[in-house]
Structure 1
């Protein structure tokens, strides 16, 4: 099987749409694992393809051959070679990028000048094909910068309806395309890429299922959440104090530092359905940069403040690079906390419920974040959870305060069951130390009876403080 991947993005190999296209091809190739699959990729951005002159020399003087000698000749030959052509491109002004349109225009030599009665299901006329294209398949794969692809690809589909015939090609159009380059959001985008691969497998089996097509149309993030992230990504803010405009007729903008952009995008991930009637203020204190940002998490959403005017409920003191690493999944939050790479002040319960407010991140261990990787890796363990370390201590302090001996037995039972309860999660060194310390302290309380139980409990507070 010969697959031609036409990468029509001006960004070349850095294209977001290209990531989807490669996932799709991976699925097709996997389904055809028992036969030879050859993939050729053309990066239009690096090719010499001049605009069509409209001279019709390829029809009248040198049939099938353009008067210009450039890379378009190779494009045509590759299309004749391919069994499957993947058209990968971003949406530019509601159509394909100009350089890809040049490539399409230059395909005129592939048609005969004579009118055809062929019914392509669209349009009012056509030209006969110079070559037998029977059996060749086409798939369009594209991302756009809007929150949804719906209603934004009308001109693209109409153009390809004319070129290929209505219903003669498959398409995968995805909104929020710029998120595929944000590593901090890879937990969500990797899920979508896995879904695109699944679509490739199904396509090779005979067609993408209706269920998969429906799943491909599900938004990566809700509209308001995405648009807040998208606006923040530009690194500029409107100067609301200036009502006029500059000499170029543009509204003045103010540059903001990258850590501000990063924090604003993090704030945009806030799930306001988690609001429980209590406003919370998360302060991100980037110790290496000397800057702090307060994020108000309320009923109507989130807002970032830079003036320190709010009363903080939870404060994170962290080097900016450390928090970036956590967001990218390069290190887990509990592990980084255990290594004292960052500290927490104020309401610590907020950290335990982090995923409830901001959703899964590469460093979290919620089911949603692990769904796609789990399908690929089978029984792969999830990232550490903060509750793994805290639950034995909380049980120890609570249970022994009511009845030292009975409480100690309960704690020993909980500690013994923790490896079983949390078997799907990785353990940090601090989790294991907690199991050992709490187990030893509980045994001490049980053996001491009502004698030195309180002393041992106090030693537990000291041990936890030293470990922390």
Structure 2
């Protein structure tokens, strides 16, 4: 495929729209690796306005009397199989550079009047060249919150130029956001949708309805976008005077607040830029966010950070959790805001038009329904420790039955390696318990095996507890969080050591015939460790965040 990319933006390579066009081409190249691409930046070309002299029709047929870069454009159109018209929306139409280019296509037509199949308007001119099979794609961004109803003039123009229904289009609102590094996570999501459209086009010369629907999604809801857009000018709303750029940045961050995340608890976030001696508060409530001067309200969470560190985090240059673990900034007060930061300020949650139902194609709830739950793993062990001492052979058979049924009970959930290990180990221990005189050996082996499973998991990428709780912290992304991982390794080691100790003292108590005392001590130790776990998982991240 031969592709001519006509970049009609006066910004040239700095064009926001060009980012979409490049993503589309990347998608094409993934499928058609031999595709040839030429890019023509109209901002770098000398293309004068058409004089309307019609010399290209009657004096120098097919050739314009002006000698400039338009001839390169005409040659490119004749060469290409696909023309990509890339441009921003200016005053509800194409920029002047591109309009000049379109006007100067006159030499490509013959002067005669002709009725054309499917033509738009009341007249047309036949093409001087065989343009059959040529395809056109329009890619454009605009500064409004949506592209809907803002491209009427553009589509009417290209209905005449290309023929109604004879071109594809990708029109995207909120185009200025593609130049904001702090919003890269969200804009990258959209660019991936554009790449997918490119892949489809390379395969079918068309963009599917599903892809078009995703491309029509808003990057952010209208109120969020318009707050960010207003703040981006860096001008105080009432006085019209230029405001502190750090305050502008803080206002834009506040605009990202997703009020749907409000949990009946108003939060006052105070950000102190320690190197600048400046601070502001962001109040997060049920109706949205408000920026106040520092000290206006009692802060529930305080972030103390150098300005450049916070900017780097916002731009995605460094991970916020990694920077926190390294002590690059401090957090005091209510740490739950930091734990659920992406819920309050995350681009994915703020994006509008996304399906909220969370249904898979088979009707099951997505992601949450698939999450593994520790209860399935624990059910096998608890059944073994309770049933076998009570009924020995009967208890062992019951445990075997439970181990066989648990995978069926968890059919709609992911099973971790620890689930599978538990089902297998407990089943083997139950078989051992069925052997004459081996009940106590099986119980002690169970305590030891359970402890070793916890302890050895500390050496893996995903400690046992992390395999289950990571879904409360954005899934696999939590595994890149050093605070989360260290806390889970400590807890996994703690549980592992506890059950190894349980195995040791249980061996002494069983040999002394103190079965009841053993059960009491084991249960008490487990309950106390559970209480410690609940406390530690809140205390440890807060302590690290506060720089202690």
Q: Where on the TM-score scale, by shorter chain, does this alignment land: which range?
A: 0.7 to 0.9
Partner of 1:208: 207
**By percentage of residues, which structure has more strand?**
1
CA contact (8 A) 2:304 2:330 kept: yes
Pick which of 132-141 and 327-336 moved more.
Answer: 327-336
- In structure 2, do the counterparts of structure 1 residues 78 and 440 end up closer, same or farther at CA, with 3 Å as the change threshold? closer
Compared CA separation, residues 230 and 427, structure 1 to 2 (3 A): closer
- The normalised TM-score by structure 2 is 0.69
- Equivalent residue, structure 2, for 1:178: 176
Work out whether residues 464 and 492 of structure 2, in 8 Å CA contact, stay in contact via their aligned partners in 1: no
Cα displacement (A) at 1:307: 5.3
Give the greater-gyration-radius structure (CA). Answer: 2
Alpha-carbon distance in 2 for matches of 1:463, 1:28: 45
| Bigger share in helix | 2
RMSD over aligned Cα atoms: 3.0
Q: Are 1:255 and 2:302 matched, yes or no?
A: no
- Is 1:277 the equivalent of 2:324? no
Deviation at residue 437 of structure 1 after TM alignment? 4.4
Aligned to 1:169: 167
Closer, same or farther in 2 for the Cα pair 1:131/1:21, shift >3 Å?
Answer: same
CA distance in 1, matches of 2:195, 2:540: 52
Structure-2 residue corresponding to 1:158: 156
In structure 1, the partner of 2:35 is 37
Q: Could you say which residue in structure 2 is the equivalent of 1:84?
A: 82
Which segment drifts farther, 272-281 or 291-300?
272-281
| Structure 2 partner of 1:402 | none
Question: Are 2:111 and 2:126, in contact at CA under 8 Å, matched by a contact in 1?
Answer: yes
The residue number in structure 2 matching 1:223 is 222
SS at match of 1:214: helix
User: In 1, Cα distance between the equivalents of 2:62 and 2:540?
Assistant: 85
Task: Report the Cα distance in structure 1 between the residues aligned to 2:106 and 2:540, rounded to whole angstroms.
Answer: 80
CA distance in 2, matches of 1:325, 1:361: 19
User: Per the alignment, in what secondary structure is the counterpart of residue 305 of structure 1?
Assistant: strand
Alignment partner for residue 293 of structure 1, among 264, 272, 280? 280
Contact 1:51 1:105 in 2 (8 A): yes
Q: CA deviation at 1:430?
A: 4.7
Q: Contact between 2:487 and 2:541, CA under 8 Å: does it hold in 1? A: no
Equivalent-residue separation in structure 1 for 2:252 and 2:260 (angstroms): 18
Kept after mapping to 2: 8 A contact 1:111/1:129: yes
SS at match of 1:255: coil
Decide whether the 8 Å contact of 2:114 with 2:124 is kept in 1.
Answer: yes
Q: How many residues align?
A: 406
- Take 1:78 and 1:257, find their aligned partners in 2: how far apart are those partners? 48
Q: Which moved more, 1:178-187 or 1:42-51?
A: 178-187
Alignment of 1:23 onto 2:15:
no
Aligned CA distance change for structure 1 residues 103 and 353 (closer, same or farther; 3 Å): same
**Separation in 2 of the partners of 1:410 and 1:352?**
30
After superposition, the Cα gap between the structure-2 partners of 1:221 and 1:463, relative to the gap in structure 1 and judged at 3 Å, is closer
1:187 to 180, 185, 188: 185
Distance 1:410 1:277 in 2: 42
Distance 1:352 1:125 in 2: 64
| Equivalence for 1:103 | 101
Corresponding residue for 1:424?
Answer: 476
Report the counterpart of residue 51 of structure 1 in structure 2. 49
Indicate the residue corresponding to 1:312 in structure 2. Answer: 299
> Structure 1 pair 462/445, CA: closer, same or farther in 2 (3 Å)?
farther
- TM-score, normalised via structure 1 length: 0.80
In the alignment, the residues of structure 2 paired with residue 55 and residue 288 of structure 1 have an alpha-carbon distance, to the nearest angstrom, of 65
Q: Which runs of 5+ in 1 are unaligned?
A: 241-252, 363-367, 369-405
How far apart, CA to CA, are the structure 1 residues paired with 2:312 and 2:278?
18
The CA distance in 1 between the partners of 2:82 and 2:112, in whole Å, is 27
Query: Which blocks of at least 5 consecutive residues in structure 2 are unaligned?
Result: 355-446, 506-520
